[in-house]
Amino acid sequence: MIYLLPVLAILAAKRIGFSHLGFKKFDSLTMGLGCGLIVISYPIIIAHNMLLTFLGVNTQGEAVMKMFSELKSPAWLFLTAVIVAPLVEEIFFRGFLFQGFRQRYGWIAALLLSSGIFAAAHLDPVSFIPTFVLGAVLGYVYHRSNSLWPSIILHFLNNGFAVCAMLAAIRFPDMFPS
């Protein structure tokens, strides 16, 4: 939620509304493009995680699974990871940073800068590459649509899929050997 403070301060100082960030209608084809790009990015992310596992490096997923397994009820973590985090992160990283960088440096530089900051902000060097790839996909979808909604929805879906997969791995460990 701390990410929203500079956004709110600048919007208030410039006297502009949240619609300036990109809360607009969007073309449904953009969602299809975004879904396709997410699907294409998954092999990269899976290969990255398999390489890390082969090298004996703990991945972010392992740390999150440990946290999940220690909870009596994952409801708050699910709410935070699947709803709150994607909404806040998309407002800040795409609606605020990407848009500002795009106006100043062009969309490709904005994509690289905002994706790099997005990945670094997750404070996990091991997951920098997968998080950068996700940030780039979400940034491109935002750029194509000029709306935050597609990137927010895709971010919800991505995190929801990851959380459900982790919960399934905890609940049914025989089906998901480590």
Q: How far apart are CA 98 and CA 100, in angstroms?
A: 5
143 domain residue, yes or no: yes
Kindly tell me if the per-residue pLDDT of 177 is higher than 70. Answer: no
DSSP for 49-66 reads HHHHHHTTPPPHHHHHHH
Q: How many residues can be counted in the chain?
A: 178
64 domain residue, yes or no: yes
150 domain residue, yes or no: yes
176 domain residue, yes or no: no
Burial of 69 (C-beta count, 10 Å sphere; 0-12/13-18/19+):
middle
- How sure is the predictor about 163, in pLDDT bands with cuts at 50, 70 and 90? confident
Number of domains into which the chain is organized: 1
* Token couple for 100: 């500002």
21 domain residue, yes or no: no
60-72 per-position pLDDT tens digit: 777 777 777 787 7
Is pTM beyond 0.85? Reply is yes
Q: Which residue has the tokens 């992310």?
A: 45
15 domain residue, yes or no: no
Q: How far apart are CA 117 and CA 121, in angstroms?
A: 6
Its domain, for residue 87, covers 34-171
